[in-house]
Structure 1
């Protein structure tokens, strides 16, 4: 239909066949009116093609042309549905026919016929058999007969779908050889012929790797253009449609040029760009697994911020689903955020492949994982897992001491809230009054035990209190989830100068009948199970190492809290350093609840230091 002659074994002499100038002019005008009338749609001006972008020597690369698995049958059907959205009757997107089995040849592998194969299936199977890109075949079906987009095309257009063996004879306009009529015959034989051109590059008038004089129009008076054809694919297009677009055709890409214009190769280049991107762009690898990276998993206000990127080279522009899990329970998110760095490293994939999501996590240690879902060939890709520790939503802390000097009372300790967004506050109550202080002093010892978020957690404040004997109590004020946490009370006598304790005596905060105090600080996954870590001591016998009762899913054993902990000694000088515990617990894979209890000595009761849930991979 674009003013060319094609037949099996087409030779140089056939290309030189003369045609009636009047007949060709009528056909070219008809082609132009068809492409203007069907409303293919001009691209947005921001990215519209320009005729100056057309390279006559490299219309399409060999990699893009001879790429038989560029699209699957499903993807081809999706293209037909989208491009043929305005078709209501007799549409290519709904077309099907029975096909016959064809033996392998020098140019194509065998084709196994089937009953009622759809157009998408036929295109996909022919593309694989003859190694011609289905993108090329879709564009050729459109440029030859408008079959992809036309509403209610007549049966004659299916008969000559690829314009194969349809000579431009003014005495027989629209005639095609009946031996090659029909949609399947046209698609298969045209693909077979395109491979014949590639296998015999010196048997035709237009040859790759050298300069060629190419006609602008069947009317030789319109002249020729000297073109260096860079590859076999471009040579094949010129053999199939032996004209190069002139300046008038390129200056009006979506319309009509002048009397010397021809449009077949212009329209092929324009449609390929509009539908699939540049035909000269590098081809992405096929059959690969997705690639990407889980870049971080950090706690933000009690949730985990999971971030990274991923794409699949089989469909590099598609935004992948990412399967994200917390302790094995998951959901899908899209990797669709703009990532300029990804686009710089993989220009053929584009930028929109990032993900950044917030996930709820339970209190304790959790394993957060991300998997990129495969498209096309290949398998899903695990982007990895991160172990995160979500603290209890309630604040943590310690009321470490109180000192009285006359009516001046000084308090010290630390407190922080794992999901806090503002500085931590500690509420002090005493003799029917209250005051609030900020816990924002640097405490390296607390940060070592509880992570960087706990660094600015210390408080050391003084206030004037009324005379008398009473308790000073401290409470960490909750933020976000959870409730306030009582840090304990200290009995004081205010109104007289307190004597300084002897260096050989413990400070006055220690007294009989106290419960143990301590912290179940962390639980970490090891090669054989988990390590439960923390510290504890009892104020009734502060230097004595305590027994810890550690349970896993209710079953437990004793461990000794006797490891050196200089940070504990720094905070509680009267207790000394040997109060740390690190219980090595062998565990099978799965979810486990680990709890720690400090055993009391002297007066008082045992103290639960809490529980953690851990998932062993």
Structure 2
């Protein structure tokens, strides 16, 4: 809620202007429903002050209404000080009507949370025009009224700033129900089309039209009842011109509503009346808001010397990249800036862009390991676990004998072999009926292998022919290890 500080007698009664001779102002009574008041104008107060208005006692959250057609000259949402939350109306003749101690509590409590939606009527702010009888606020106990019965402190100031005892005006005040049938009374309509998490808060988009004018509506948001800002509904929306041809197309809006705390946030959005009158509620969508980084470990790939871990991470408070720290068996193993372009992430989270991918090479010894990745928090919140993976790190060659087929006097052998310690082709030893018959290398391109082992390339296939006689034979192929580890059997076939 915009905060305006106006140093006048209303806020500082010790500096009060001289009292004006009793006069009856034609007003609407300022509270809807049952209330009680007395002529306590001028009563002594602490610090040598005197009471500059009348206290009207009523139930907390009872509706407070405009006493005249006027403009809101001051709207202060600050429950500290003597007056607490305050609204001041100024009519066309310069008379001012002050409402003090407006509500600062959540419904059913005395918590002092001071939520804007329960202090002033939604859709109103400093500068708004109102008509007599229109709801503008709620009875409360803010300021130095805390600890007393809920009431409205009401003052009337003349154009020369002299103070009028409001008692007789209140006694004579009209109590006609608010009809909302004045010119320009129709409330704005509209829709919320999109609600999504965005850096710094919640992005809300939609449209709003005031049927009484082609001008833009001011849209106001209240996340969990608090003031969340405003925006002009003036963006181009071609679909609106078709649906509302007399209103034009420039009635779209998109606004960032600041949110810093995690949890479910219900944001009520109102279109403020362009003329004097009630706001139109566009909707109250809810969204579960996270403040800790989130993301995914997409892949863990074996590579020479260890593994490569890759994925993405976003800190919901910022659009910038987020660091990732990786631990293996509980020990810090490395970090990444998390700034690799990921178009798929941008498609899923358009408010954050694409620079949120990470890729990190880790040195890992042979055996079973637990690898965990954490997103490092930037703003509110804390570091969070992105995910953990089991790693089985072997040093012996991987391989497969795809076929060993006999055609006449020739056995054709084919397959592949990879040594996890190197990207180089693996040497092969071949045995026929237990007798070593030759050396070969697994260096034939195999385009299918990078899909399973992306860090080793495709030149790990083998294929060769063995001449044989007509008797059955057993063919065995071994992959010869390089570095730590052991030679491994690729496979045996009897053909």
TM-score class normalised by the smaller sequence: 0.3 to 0.5
- Give the structure with the higher percent helix: 1
TM-score using structure 1 length: 0.29
Q: Which protein is richer in strand relative to its size?
A: 2
Question: Normalised by the size of structure 2, how large is the TM-score?
Answer: 0.35
